[in-house]
Chain A
Amino acid sequence: MTSLDLLSPGTRARLVSIGGERAFRCRLMELGLLPGTALRLVRKADLGGVLELEVRGCRLTVRHLEARSLAVVPLEG
C-alpha cells in the first residue's frame, strides 16, 4: 500500500482510504472516488503541484498535499 502522490503517471490503482477534512472527503466520494474504486494517475504537474486522475471515465485534479492522504494499492497491468 502506498499513497497517491507516490504513484508514477500512467499507473492504475485501487483506492483504499481517504484522509483529510470532511468537506474534501465528501466531495471526492460524491465525484465517484470511494474506497474500492479503481483509478489511474494521468499526470503530475511539476509546477502546479497538482495531480490529474482518471476515475469512472472522468478527469479530476487534486493537490499533491491532499493526494498524500489518499491511500492506494497499485494494480497489475
Chain B
Amino acid sequence: MSTLPPTRAGRRTRIALAGNPNTGKTTLFNRLTGLSAKVGNYPGVTVESEIGTLRLASAGEVELADVPGTYSLSARSAEEVLAIAAICGLPPLAPPDLVLLVVDATALTRNLYLALQVIETGTPVVIALNMWDMLASVGVEIDAAALARELGVPVVPISAQHGQGLDELRLALDRALAEPASARPDQRLVSESPLLREDIASAAAALPEDWRVEDPRRRDALALWALLSLDEHDELASAPKELRDVVLARRRAAADVGRELDAEIIRGRYEWIDAHAPRFLRTRAQVATSRTDQLDRVLLHPVFGFAAFLLAMGLVFQSLFSWADPAIGAIENAIGWFKALVVASLPEGLIADFVGDALIEGVGSVVVFLPQIVLLFLFIGLMEDSGYMARVAFLMDRLMKAIGLHGRAFVPMMSGFACAVPAILATRTMERQRDRMLTMLVVPLMTCSARLPVYALLIAALFPPSELFGFVPVQGLLMVGMYLFSTLVALAVAAVLGRTLFKGSSMPLLLEMPPYRRPDLRSVAAMVWRKSRVFLTEAGTVILACTVVMWGLLSFPRDAQGEARFDARASELAQAGASDEQLAELENERAAAALRHSLGGRLGRGIEPAIEPLGFDWKIGIGLLGAFAAREVFVSTMGVVYGMGGEVDDQTTGLRQRIQQESRDDGAPVYTPLVGLALMVFFALACQCMSTIAVVKRETRGWRWPVFLFVYTGALAWLCAFAVYQGGLALGLG
C-alpha cells in the first residue's frame, strides 16, 4: 500500500484521471501505467484508489491516480464523494496538479457537462477524447481543435483500446504541466444570472478556509458545487454545518420566489454546451439500427432476456464450483507439499507445529480461495466492461424493488456468493446511505465460498449418497438447499430491515445503458490482478492472525503431567509389542486430553450450555469459536480437535469417519443428520468472519453497524439452529 501524502510539499507531481463511467477511463489508465499501478489509500478518506506511475519526457515520473467514474461533481454515492475530493482537492487531499479528463467522443455533449465543472475549478485540465475511432459508426464528426479553442484547454483525440494517440497525449500532459496557464481558459466559460451570483457569493462566504479558496475562480466553483450537492441527508459527512445551513437557506429562499437553483445551475452549463456545439460537433443522418439495439432486443426481452440472464448466472456458478476445483486442488497439494518440506527440515516440537499448523496452514486457508475470487472478478469485470451489467440491473430491478432493495444491490448480492468482503466494497456505487446500509447488512448472509468446505464436510460425513425419487442426488440437493435457504433469509431480512430500521424509499433507479463493447481483456485482467492482491493482503492478514491465535488457544497451556503419563503408556505399549493401530489410538487419546486441558478446550466447555440446545457438544463449540475468525477454520480446527493434525480438508476421509464415530458419554453418536443440519443452518446465518466485520466497520466508520451485524446474525443463527434441532427432535428425527 502506498500512501498519498496530503500536502503538496515534497511530493511527486500528481495527475488525477477522471471521467464519466463507461468512457474507457480504466483502459486508458492501464495503457498509460502498465501493471505498475498499486492500490493506495487516500489519507483520512480510507478509500482505495489505484495509483500508477506515468513517465513523461520533461516532467519525468509523475503519479496518475484513477478516480472513480462520475457524471458530475455533485456527489451522491460514496464513490462519487471520493471522486470529488480527488478532483477538487478537498481536505485532507491537496488539489491535483492536473486533471486528465477522459471524454467519450460518441456521447460528447453529455460528457462535456463534467468537463465544464472540472474546468471551472481552475485546476489545469487536459481532455482525452476517447473512442475517436468509433465516431463514424455513430454518425458524428468532431473538430477537436475547435473544441479545444472553445474550452480553452488542450484536447487530444485517442483510442485507448487500440492505443492510438497516446504519444500525443503524453506530450500534451507534459506541456500542460510545464505551462499550467495553457490548460486553463482565460475566464469562466459559463456566466450566471445576477440572482444566481448572489447565491454563489453567499455560499462562497461560508466555505471553510482549509478548502484553499484564495483563487476566486476556485471559490466560485466550490460554491456552485456546494449549492448543487449539499442536502439534508447526503454522503458528504465532511461538509461543515454552517455551509450546509447556508445552502439549504438559499435553496429555500429561491424556491419561495419560484426559482429552482439546481435547474438554473445545470441549465447554465447545458445552454453553454448547446450554444457552442455547432462550432465543433456535426451530427450526420442517424445510422440504421445499431448492434447494441439488435442485441438488446434479445437480451432485454421479457422471456429471452431472462433466459439469457439465467444462462449467464449458471455459467458463473458452474465455474465457481466446478471449474475452480482443479486449481483449488492444486493449491492444496502445493501447500501440503510445502508444509511437509518445511516441517521435515525443522526439529520436531513446538516450532515445527507452529510453522506448519499455524503459519503455513493459515496462509494456505486464504490462498485456497484465490481461484474462486479470480473467477468471480473476471466475470464481474467482463460483465461490466461489455455493458451487460447495466442490463442486469434493468432486468432485476422489479424483484429487488419488491424487497426494498435497490436495483444496484444485485451485483453485491451476487458477489456475496464468492466472498462478502469484495461484495461490501461493491456497495459503494449506491447513491443513498439507506440502500447501501441495507445491502451491506444482508450481503454476509449469502452463502460465500468459505462455507463450502464446512457444508462439504458435514454433508459427506452425515448424509450417505442416495437418490430422492430414484434420480435426485440427496447430497447435491442439500447443497442447493443451503444456497436457497441463505438467499431467501437474506431477502427476508432485507424486507424486514427495509420496513423497520431503514424506513424510507430507495433512490429512484436511473442508469445509463452503455452501448455493448468488446471487453478490453487487458484492463479486465489488470483489474482482476489488483483486486485479488487486495483480497490476499486484506483478508489474508486477518485470517492468518486468527489461525495463529486459534492454534495458540488449542495448544496452551500444556499439561506436563498428563504428557508424562502418556509417554509412559506409550513406551509400555511399545515394549509389549503393540500394533501401530494401538499406538495411533493412544496418540489420539493424548491429543484429546491435551485439547481438554487447553484454553480453547476450556472455552469450548464454557460455551457448551449455550449450544447444547442446538445439539452441539463442547468440541463443536471449539470449532464454532475458531470459525468466528473465519468459517473455513472450522474444518482445520475440527481436525485439530479430533487429533487428526491440522492437515485435513473436507476431502479427508479420516475426518469424516472420525465425525461419524464421535460419541457422547452414553455412547450415542454426537453427529446425527439432524445435528449436521442444525450446524449447517448455524453456519449459513452467523457472520463468522472477522474480515467482513472489519470491512463493515471501515465502510460505516464506526463500531455500531458491525456490532449490529454480528449480533443479529448470531441471534438468527442460534434461533434457526434451535428450531431445526428441537423441531427435528419433536418430530422424532433425532
Residues of A within 8 A of B (CB): 20-32, 34-35, 42-43, 45-50, 52, 55-63, 65-66
The answer to whether B394 and A50 have CB atoms under 8 Å apart is: yes
- With A45-B395, A63-B397 known to touch, is A58 a contact of B512 (CB < 8 Å)? yes
For chain B residues 228-284, which have a beta carbon within 8 Å of chain A?
A: 228, 231, 262-263, 266-267, 270
Which of B69-77, B177-185, B635-643 is found at the contact surface with chain A?
Answer: B69-77
Out of B110, B300, B510, B512, which one reaches A43, CB within 8 Å?
A: B300
Q: What are the residues of chain A within 8 A of B508 when measuring CB–CB?
A: 20-21, 23-24, 62-63, 65-66
The answer to whether A59 and B512 have CB atoms under 8 Å apart is: yes
Q: What are the residues of chain B within 8 A of A65 when measuring CB–CB?
A: 508
In the assembled complex, 27 residue pairs joining A and B whose CB atoms fall closer than 8 Å, in A order, are: A23-B508, A25-B262, A26-B266, A27-B71, A28-B510, A29-B262, A29-B266, A30-B72, A32-B110, A35-B263, A43-B296, A45-B302, A45-B394, A49-B401, A50-B397, A52-B394, A52-B513, A57-B140, A59-B292, A59-B513, A59-B514, A60-B510, A60-B511, A61-B509, A61-B512, A61-B513, A65-B508
What residue in chain A is nearest B22 (Cβ atoms)?
Answer: A58
Q: What are the residues of chain B within 8 A of A46 when measuring CB–CB?
A: 302
Interface flags, B60-99, vs A, CB<8A=1, else 0: 0000000000011010100000000000000000000000
Q: Cα distance A27–B231 when bound, in Å?
A: 14
The answer to whether A57 and B106 have CB atoms under 8 Å apart is: yes
Q: What are the residues of chain A within 8 A of B106 when measuring CB–CB?
A: 57
Q: Does any Cβ of A come within 8 Å of B113's Cβ? A: yes
Q: What are the residues of chain B within 8 A of A47 when measuring CB–CB?
A: 302, 305-306, 395, 398
A27-B431, A50-B394, A57-B107 known; 17 new pairs, CB 8 Å cut-off, are A22-B231, A22-B262, A26-B228, A27-B510, A30-B72, A30-B74, A30-B266, A31-B510, A34-B267, A35-B263, A52-B296, A57-B110, A58-B110, A58-B512, A59-B292, A61-B390, A61-B513
Q: Is the interface of B mostly helix, strand, loop or mixed?
A: helix
What residue in chain B is nearest A61 (Cβ atoms)?
Answer: B511
The answer to whether B512 and A23 have CB atoms under 8 Å apart is: no
Q: Cα distance A30–B117 when bound, in Å?
A: 11
Distance in Å from the Cβ of A76 to the closest Cβ of chain B? 16
The answer to whether A29 and B512 have CB atoms under 8 Å apart is: no
- With A45-B300, A47-B302 known to touch, is A30 a contact of B113 (CB < 8 Å)? yes
Q: What are the residues of chain B within 8 A of A60 when measuring CB–CB?
A: 510-513
Distance in Å from the Cβ of B213 to the closest Cβ of chain A? 24
Q: What are the residues of chain A within 8 A of B431 when measuring CB–CB?
A: 23, 27
The answer to whether B266 and A57 have CB atoms under 8 Å apart is: no
The answer to whether A30 and B510 have CB atoms under 8 Å apart is: no
Distance in Å from the Cβ of A19 to the closest Cβ of chain B? 11
Q: What are the residues of chain B within 8 A of A32 when measuring CB–CB?
A: 109-110, 113, 270
The answer to whether B76 and A27 have CB atoms under 8 Å apart is: yes
Q: Does any Cβ of A come within 8 Å of B536's Cβ? A: no
Q: What are the residues of chain B within 8 A of A58 when measuring CB–CB?
A: 107, 110, 512
The answer to whether B74 and A24 have CB atoms under 8 Å apart is: no
Q: Cα distance A62–B395 when bound, in Å?
A: 12
- With A24-B508, A63-B509 known to touch, is A49 a contact of B397 (CB < 8 Å)? yes
What residue in chain A is nearest B390 (Cβ atoms)?
Answer: A61
The answer to whether A48 and B395 have CB atoms under 8 Å apart is: yes
Q: Cα distance A5–B495 when bound, in Å?
A: 27
- With A57-B106, A60-B510, A60-B513 known to touch, is A26 a contact of B74 (CB < 8 Å)? yes
Q: What are the residues of chain A within 8 A of B302 when measuring CB–CB?
A: 45-47
Distance in Å from the Cβ of B271 to the closest Cβ of chain A? 9
Q: What are the residues of chain A within 8 A of B107 when measuring CB–CB?
A: 56-58
Q: Does any Cβ of A come within 8 Å of B729's Cβ? A: no
Q: Cα distance A69–B297 when bound, in Å?
A: 26
The answer to whether A49 and B512 have CB atoms under 8 Å apart is: no
Q: Does any Cβ of A come within 8 Å of B138's Cβ? A: yes
